[in-house]
Structure 1
Amino acid sequence: MESEGTSLSKVREANWPAVLFFIHIHLLSFYGIWLVIFEAKWMTLLLLVVLSLVAVLGVTAGAHRLWAHGAYKASTGLRIALMIFQTLAGQGTIYDWVQYHRLHHATFATDADPFDYRRGFGYAHVIARLRKLSPLQEKLKSEIDMSDLDNDPVVVFQSKAYWIMYGILFVLLPLNAPLEYWNDSILSAVFVIGFVRYLVILHASWLVESGICVWGLQPGEKCPPDSNWLFILTKTFWPHYHYMMPYDYKSDEYGTYDSGCTTAFIRVWAALNLATDLKTIDTPVLQKALAEAAKSKRPIQTCLDEAVSKQSLPAGHYLQRG
């Protein structure tokens, strides 16, 4: 007799509103890119870069590392700032983003994973965004523990006021700035600050789940890869490490470790004592675990868990800053 979970359908239907929405975003962005090259003023381009970087930090340092994985603790002021940054990303509420991402980690590399990287970059990066969750995935998502976010007043406030904040922070203020302060055209405001900005933020944010297809080593793949991609991309094991130790604040979303902009951003606030309890694993612990895995032929995850437990660090090592 099948259990309730195994009897639920795994079929994901197309999410047609999302399909149409993303098609229009991409098509309209082509004209915006033409304006970026030939017509938009430099201040508009600077605003495009600043707003995009701030929004991506809201996803990586905020929704991903702080709220989804608890890689560090942030003061109330920093949490409010990151909440505003995340609103500027236009990715939905922090609560919904985190619940979806925790489902991804809980089901990673299985048929229930919403962004199953085994099906290729195209699926993980784009196609998965155009489909609804299957009944099985909806059930699994409803079982994700979200009690920590339920008790976070900053997250609760954003969930209640999201669409008002979205309209003001994401749409009205950014689109008004080029018109009000440096007299750029309406077309530049709408297509560059509107559509191109959203296109950049979307793909940068989507790489949080699909980046393992870009930078992660595939089973049996050589390191460095035996192809011309070596001159463009560096393949590493770090994307896989993130799924083994997701609470490590130094795991970059874009294929590196301990050297990304988000890690530097967190360290700046840690130096000011606004970010505390930065979780990581000491390098010697990692080295011993990897050596043990190579020697014993056991799974790396098992060896990492054992190494961490021997160090009395069941919830991740707290690297004290300040």
Structure 2
Amino acid sequence: MSTRQDSPQLQEKGRLPANNNPAQQKQVPWYKKLDWLMVTMVILVPAFAGLSTIWVPFQKKTKIMAFFYNLMKGFSITGGYHRLWSHKSYSASKSLQIFLMLFGAGAGQGSIKLWCREHRAHHRYVDTDQDPYSVQKGLFYSHVGWIIFKDDPNKIGRVNVEDLKRDPIVTFQAYYYWQLFLLMAYIGPTLIAGLGWGDWLGGYIYGGLLGTALVQQSTFCINSLAHWMGDQPYGTFKSARNCFIVAILTLGEGYHNFHHEFPSDWRNGVRWYEFDPTKWSIWLWTQFGLVSDLRFFSMNEINKSMLQASQKQLDLQYKTIQWGVPIADLPVMLLEEYYEQAQTRHLILIERIVYDITEFYKIHPGGVGLIKSGIGKDATRMFNDMYKHSNVALNLLASMRIAVVDEDM
């Protein structure tokens, strides 16, 4: 997500020239690093709008308008900026592209070109210094710090955005971004409420200022909370996580672990029951012929990732369990030595493995007499033929092994 607007250098070259002057690289106080335009847009303006609610009534018609108007902004970011332009998850008609471009501008998150450049860098360099909003730099930084503090654009990893530069709708929006932003973010809802039912101020405060701020904060959560809370059912190599709560806050983008493993899939909540209204909206658009060429991964590939991630977690848990001395690490004992030591110790031999059952034979579920009958003998047949032992019995037995018999020595 981005609220920065393209500078001429970024538009032409993709980044600003590096500052290699050591004298200018001295530590600068944090407050001097603030980008006051961004501070105003994402902190001061929403704060003013919040205070305004004390004296500006929230009319019912304005509530309905503000909800749906800003919902369109949200879908224009999740379904447009993100899944359509950043990842090319589907093809959209020109009319839908124009709609998403206009309401996306109203979300106050910068142009499509800049937003996608930073998001593609996020995916390519996730969790590194070249990730523009890496959660490794802290939750606050990934949520809003990377926006309100000036940063060197050269730190952002390079990505290919040639497709966006050739897109006339994208280039049009980049050129007229500020005009479109003011029109769609503030003027639009003000005019609707004002001309519709005379609530000019309510439309401006609730539909414009507060609505835009809420859409921004929703998107910020994808960069921060979606990399911080939840589980990782599809892959553990990246910080992205799946979280139902974050999905509610972000119109379905909370299944972020899935998304980082399968970024070009048009879905985030791949299961039918997962909360992904952006997916539902894209599906609905297909029914009206506005969307085609949905890109997706087969369930076979998705299940592969789930099994691999589960196996990795199981392997980590496996290492925390005491399974007994590995057979390869057991000392070698001659068969004669086994018989000799079994005269004074409670030893039993099963499939060439020697077990010391001193602490166990008295509590054997089958009775003391049964297990004592195998002490000092080769009890392989008795153990295998008596009945099929459970995993618990096998695991407990493995914890008692002390040697392996080499009959060839």
Which structure's CA Rg is the greater one?
Answer: 2
Check the 8 A contact 1:104/1:113 in 2, yes or no: yes
1:91 is aligned to 2:109: yes
Deviation at 1:68, TM superposition (A): 0.3
Tell me whether 1:247 sits opposite 2:247 in the alignment: no
Match of residue 104, structure 1, among 91, 97, 122: 122
Shift of the alpha carbon at 1:298? 12
- 1:160 aligned to 2:179? no
CA deviation map 1:7-46 (0-9, x unaligned): 898x99432332244331232132244457xx22111111
Are positions 1:174 and 2:189 aligned together? yes
1:189 is aligned with what amino acid?
G
Paired position in structure 2 for 1:198: 212
SS of the residue corresponding to residue 198 of structure 1 reads helix
1:289 counterpart residue number: 305
**Residues 1:210 and 2:257 are matched in the alignment:** no
Indicate conservation of the 8 Å contact 1:55/1:88, yes or no: yes
Instruction: State how far apart, in whole Å, the 1-side matches of 2:129 and 2:96 are.
Output: 37
* 2:282 paired residue number: 266
More helix by share: 1
Counterpart code for 1:281: F
What's the offset of the Cα at 1:274? 2.1
Whether contact under 8 Å (2:106, 2:212) holds in the other structure is no
Q: What secondary structure is seen at the aligned counterpart in 1 of 2:295?
A: strand
In 1, Cα distance between equivalents of 2:207 and 2:87: 31
Highest RCO, 1 vs 2 (Cα 8 Å, sep ≥ 6) = 1
- Cα 1:298–1:114 change in 2 (3 A) is farther
Report the AA paired with residue 141 of structure 2.
Y
Q: Which amino acid aligns with 1:151?
A: R
Q: Rate the CA distance shift 1:49–1:214 in 2: closer, same or farther, 3 A.
A: farther
Distance of aligned partners of 1:33 and 1:202 in 2 relative to their CA distance in 1, 3 Å threshold: farther
User: Which amino acid counterpart does residue 171 of structure 2 have in structure 1?
Assistant: V
Structure 2: distance between partners of 1:31 and 1:296: 50
Letter in 1 for 2:135: Y
Name the counterpart of 1:28: 48
Q: 1:257 to 1:63 in 2, by over 3 A?
A: farther
1:85 to partner: Cα distance: 1.9
Residues 288 and 214 (structure 1), Cα distance of their counterparts in 2 relative to 1, 3 Å cut: closer
Residue correspondence of structure 1 range 1-322 to structure 2 within 5 A: 13-34=33-54, 39-138=57-156, 140=157, 143-184=158-199, 186=201, 188-213=202-227, 215-217=229-231, 238-251=255-268, 259-292=275-308, 294-295=310-311
Task: Using the TM superposition, give the Cα deviation of residue 278 of structure 1 relative to its aligned residue in structure 2, in angstroms.
Answer: 1.0
What is the number of equivalent residue pairs in this alignment?
279
TM-score (norm 2): 0.59
Q: Secondary structure at the match of 1:48?
A: helix
Structure 1 letter corresponding to 2:109: Q
